[in-house]
Amino acid sequence: MSQNKDFLRIEDLVVEYTSDGEIVQAVNGVSLSLEKGKTLGLVGETGAGKTTIAKTIMRILPEPPARVCRGRIEFEDRDLLNLPEKEMLHIRGNQIAMIFQDPMTALNPVMTVGSQIAEVIELHDHLSGGEAKRKAVEMLEMVGIPGARYDNYPHEFSGGMKQRVVIAMALACAPQLLLADEPTTALDVTIQAQVLEMIADLKKRYDTSMILITHDLGVVARTCDDVAVVYAGEIIENGSLEDIFDHPTHPYTIGLFGALPKLTGNEKRLSPVEGLPPDPTHLPAGCKFSPRCPNVTEACRSGEVPAYEMTPGHFVRCHLAANAAKEV
């Protein structure tokens, strides 16, 4: 196993979809990295491009309508985008696994949950049917589901239990990288806490790195080491958890925190981010957030906005933030 500091590195990734004859600019020049054993949170509104990034890593985008225009995804010194599909079959589900957002659509309704987990184990670990079944039972019990429910079907489980089955399936082969797409969105708060704790325990047990896709900053605070804020297919701010939570710099990131209810203080109303995300088929020139930014200038509306390094490892795509930092 490679011991590089960044065992996953994405460079200048651009992904487009074709819809009704128009080009949807889903991911626009995304670059990020992940250290071994760490958890990176991808945060942003619905439609920002977070799930597309994860599916591109897994190489499961439907082509067409999706198209990877350019970029590199280096995993353990290999560019995943240029690997033959036969090699990706060995990586997908084995070295890289994904917990999908909706467990009901991720599970086959006409197969028992146990057989679905065993199928993954047989494929990648090359175990016999009996051995694969024993390991599948162990995985069910590891996520808090009695092994006796091996022969039950997905519709016989609650939403939280189905999510546990999906997690067991994703972790069955002890992947090096786990992509978790909104793993707790459909769960109530109590079950959400249990699932997050379980993922953290299993991640520690297997020394698994994780990319967590979410719009819940509370989940990020509890789970992540680093954070990347995604807006209109771009990483507009990224850094350590402390950088983003203690020193948010981009107006959008500041707006996200301003929209959170606080237990202390005298605020009577929340401060939402005004406006809506831009149409991905007609993105604005310059800063993609400029139509919603309260501090927008003419310089923001034209030309590419580079990623400025505010402090070591803390990058922000904002002219105003960079200029303010220079004046300090």
Structural domain includes residue 152: no
Determine the structural domain holding residue 196 and report its residue range: 6-95+175-327
Question: Identity (one letter) of the amino acid at 232?
Answer: A
Is 88 exposed, middle or buried (CB count within 10 Å of its CB: 0-12, 13-18, 19+)? middle
Whole-prediction pTM value? Answer: 0.87
Structural domain includes residue 110: no
Q: Which pairs with CB-CB distance under 8 Å and at least 24 residues apart come from 305-309?
A: 307/235
Tokens 């819809």 found at: 19
Q: What is the pLDDT of residue 1?
A: 35
Query: What CA–CA distance (Å, rounded) separates 26 from 59?
Result: 15
- Residues 196, 218: contact at Cβ < 8 Å? no
Q: What is the pLDDT of residue 113?
A: 95
Structural domain includes residue 137: no
Structural domain includes residue 165: no
Structural domain includes residue 182: yes
Query: What CA–CA distance (Å, rounded) separates 88 from 95?
Result: 10
Distance of CA 157 to the CA centre of its chain: 25
Q: What is the pLDDT of residue 267?
A: 65
The maximal CA–CA distance of the chain, rounded, in angstroms, is: 68
Cα–Cα–Cα angle for 102, 18, 303, rounded to 5 degrees: 105
Structural domain includes residue 45: yes
List, in order, residues 6 or more apart from 275 with CB less than 8 Å away: 291, 292
Q: What is the pLDDT of residue 56?
A: 96
List, in order, residues 6 or more apart from 305 with CB less than 8 Å away: 286, 287, 317, 318, 319
Query: What CA–CA distance (Å, rounded) separates 166 from 195?
Result: 11
Structural domain includes residue 317: yes
- Residues 127, 149: contact at Cβ < 8 Å? no
* Structural domains of the chain, count: 1
Q: For position 190, which CATH number holds?
A: 3.40.50.300
Structural domain includes residue 258: yes
Beta-strand runs (E) in the chain? 6-19, 22-35, 39-43, 66-75, 78-79, 96-99, 177-181, 209-214, 226-231, 234-240, 308-311, 314-316
| Half-sphere CA count of 165, side-chain side, radius 13 A | 32
Query: What CA–CA distance (Å, rounded) separates 11 from 292?
Result: 27
- Residues 240, 231: contact at Cβ < 8 Å? no
- Residues 45, 231: contact at Cβ < 8 Å? yes
Q: What is the pLDDT of residue 327?
A: 60
List, in order, residues 6 or more apart from 208 with CB less than 8 Å away: 37, 171, 174, 175, 176, 177, 178, 202
Is 247 exposed, middle or buried (CB count within 10 Å of its CB: 0-12, 13-18, 19+)? middle
Q: Return per-residue pLDDT of the chain as tens, 328 residues.
A: 334 467 899 999 999 999 888 999 999 999 999 998 899 999 988 889 999 999 999 999 998 899 999 999 999 889 999 999 999 988 988 899 998 888 788 899 999 999 999 998 988 888 888 999 999 999 898 888 999 999 999 999 988 888 889 988 888 888 899 999 988 776 777 777 877 887 888 788 878 899 999 888 888 998 899 999 999 999 999 999 999 999 999 999 998 888 777 666 666 676 778 888 899 999 998 899 999 998 888 888 888 888 999 999 999 999 888 777 666 5
